[in-house]
Amino acid sequence: MKTLQSVLIKPAGPDCNMACRYCFYLEKAELFPQTKIHRMSLKTLKQTVKQVMRQGEDQISFGWQGGEPTLMGREFFERAFNYQRIFARPGQKVSNGFQTNGILIDGDWARLFKEYNVLVGLSLDGPMEIHDRYRLLRGNKPSWDRIMKARDTLLDRGVEVNALSVVTNYSVRFPERIYNFHKENGLNFMQFIPCVETDPLDNTRAADYTVDPDAFGDFLCSIFDLWISDFKDGRPTTSIRYFESVLATYLGMNPGQCTLMKECGVYLVIEHNGDVYSCDFFVEPKWKLGNVSEGRLSDMLNSDRQNTFGKIKGELPTQCLTCPWLKHCRGGCPKDRIFSTASPPMNYLSPAYKKFLKHADPAFKKLAGEWMQSKNQTTRN
């Protein structure tokens, strides 16, 4: 039986104050035609937080995402964090992650995040010309200056910030520039998300901003080499979530990142109206599990529908099942199994992961060996 460890909440649903060309979530507004503006009610917020705290593990994680969650206003999140305190069990620990485009971030938001120790994911694709290629305001206006102002505001007030960069057909050409840009601007925690989307007018082909698999493989190899070269005294000075998750697979540990797990469905997504879905990338009627006002989250997590969803991860073509990198890849995210004639379909990014893992394998084995040796020495002492 699965236990509730984390939830991803979208309090403003698909609503956003930007118009990024590659965004996949704006179209989800079609699921909620009753109103043009989508906002979670305080009643739904209270019910959601209460269920998560009462049914969750001793360490529970909340992710706040969108759309753009800052559209809810600070008071909404002050209530959310207060509900976490009210409904927490004795000794229960809670963490909050907040993904934002940064447009509305000011000193008051930063103080709130600092007070409640919130990890902020700031969507920033890199230097100005790279970021403004696709991350645009309405009217095709650039957004980079405003995001950099948000970065300054957050870091100046001691907020922990993670740079989230989408890797597109354009940005994939500049791994060193993007990595060094983040480092030079105090963003030593980084995530790189490959953009894989179908053409809006023809779902049999990739959108023009989708990253090329071979190029993404090269990108990962370059970023990895930069990451390794920045180690000091055997320890990383920058944090790359994907690399750390892959390293966990070499150590036989839980990788944390769901794309590297054997099964999907380890967390739940809760929309603004309380509807619960299997995954952020599968917010669609087929994978709707219920509503927080009508059922228990733990029951939805262990429902037949969620278990069926989880098993999709293991439905892989022979090429994957016989691949020497399977235990470090697990076929990638099922959302990327597109443009494939194999049955079951192959992950579009499979060539990238093969190229990267072959390149990084010696270093990962060395790091894993050093970690185990250090752990054994600590145990003996």
Which of 218, 280, 299, 336 is flagged as catalytic? 280
pLDDT band, residue 17 (cuts 50/70/90): very high
Q: Report which of 205, 203, 135 is spatially closest to residue 164, judged by C-alpha positions.
A: 135
pLDDT tens-digit map of 184-197: 999 999 999 999 99
Average pLDDT on 320-339 reads 95
Strand residues in 10-135 grouped as ranges (E): 56-64, 93-100, 119-123
pLDDT band, residue 377 (cuts 50/70/90): low
pLDDT tens-digit map of 95-145: 999 999 999 999 999 999 999 999 999 999 999 999 999 999 999 999 999
pLDDT band, residue 50 (cuts 50/70/90): very high
- The average confidence (pLDDT) of the chain is 95
Model pLDDT, residue 379: 62
Distances (CA, A) of 266 to 148, 210, 238, 255: 34, 27, 27, 12
Bridge partner residues of 332 (DSSP): none
Question: Is 230 labeled as catalytic in the residue annotation?
Answer: no
Q: How far apart are CA 354 and CA 199, in angstroms?
A: 25
Of the CA atoms within 13 Å of residue 146, those in its CB half-sphere come to 17
User: Is the separation of the CB atoms in 255 and 249 below 8 Å?
Assistant: yes
Model pLDDT, residue 203: 84
